[in-house]
Amino acid sequence: MTLRGLGASPPSSLFYSMNLINWYDAGFCDYDSALFFQQRLHAGVACGDLHDSVLFQENQPVITLGRDAKQSSLLWSAQRIADAGIILRQVERGGDATYHGPGILVISPILRFLDYASNVHLYLRMLEETVIRQCAAYGLHGFRKNGKSGVWLDDGKLSAVGVAVSRSATMHGLSLNVNPEWTHFSAIVPCGLVGEGVTSLATHGVYKTVKHARDDFLAALSEVFGAKLLPGTPVTQEKE
């Protein structure tokens, strides 16, 4: 299996000064394929062969367990999860259990984060600010909660945030509930937050496709990170 379109020459210092970020969209895909794409992008960004990048995807049903995941965050048995057509994956990002599936935009910024923020905590706040500004463009009041990562609306958590850093470049990132089907959320305690609900844009009357939500996120990201966003060569998968 190889990934096309990732063999660009190293970016020049001119492009670095412009904070150029290329974005890619893996579309509706299985989690393992999307992770493969992300790992290839990360390798290119970390060694300087690629510009900073953002990977978008809409996953087939998957529960991911971050470094801080607790067994109590899984409310269904492994067999029930499998019978429901959900895959279960341990991942290297921070945070607890999250569910991704149809109607949820998954966003993986692969950035040399110190070009944008002085530390990883500030970088996380910048990701949250991007979602908060996107919400404001829809007339919604998104906000943070003290001591918790992510973005909330008044009836629950809209966006989960969790990142990993390797070789000074980030992986993973955040999800945005656009218009998901809620049944599978009952399999977990989202982000390990007992008593916290989850919500979506559609719940608040904002009916967007995942693609439109992606474009709106890109606009907010450009503003918060002071970056120019350009589409990269389409991410395609080829079997050897």
Amino acid letter for position 199? T
* Enclosing H/E stretch for 135: helix 120-137
CA 20, CA 111: separation in Å to the nearest integer?
10
3-state secondary structure at position 167: coil
Is 2-238 CATH 3.30.930.10? yes
Catalytic residue, chosen from 29, 47, 135, 191, is 191
CA 57, CA 75: separation in Å to the nearest integer?
26
Mean pLDDT for each 10-residue chunk of the chain (240 residues)? 39 50 96 94 95 97 87 90 93 85 97 95 97 98 93 95 94 96 88 78 98 98 96 60
Cβ distance 215 to 91 under 8 Å? no
| Angle of CA points 112, 65, 187, to nearest 5° | 135
> Which pLDDT score, from 0 to 100, does residue 234 have?
59
CA 68, CA 93: separation in Å to the nearest integer?
9
Helices (H) and strands (E) in the chain, counts: 5, 13
> Which pLDDT score, from 0 to 100, does residue 233 have?
76
Catalytic annotation on 47? no
> Which pLDDT score, from 0 to 100, does residue 9 have?
38
Alpha helices in the chain (DSSP H): 13-17, 31-46, 78-83, 120-137, 210-225
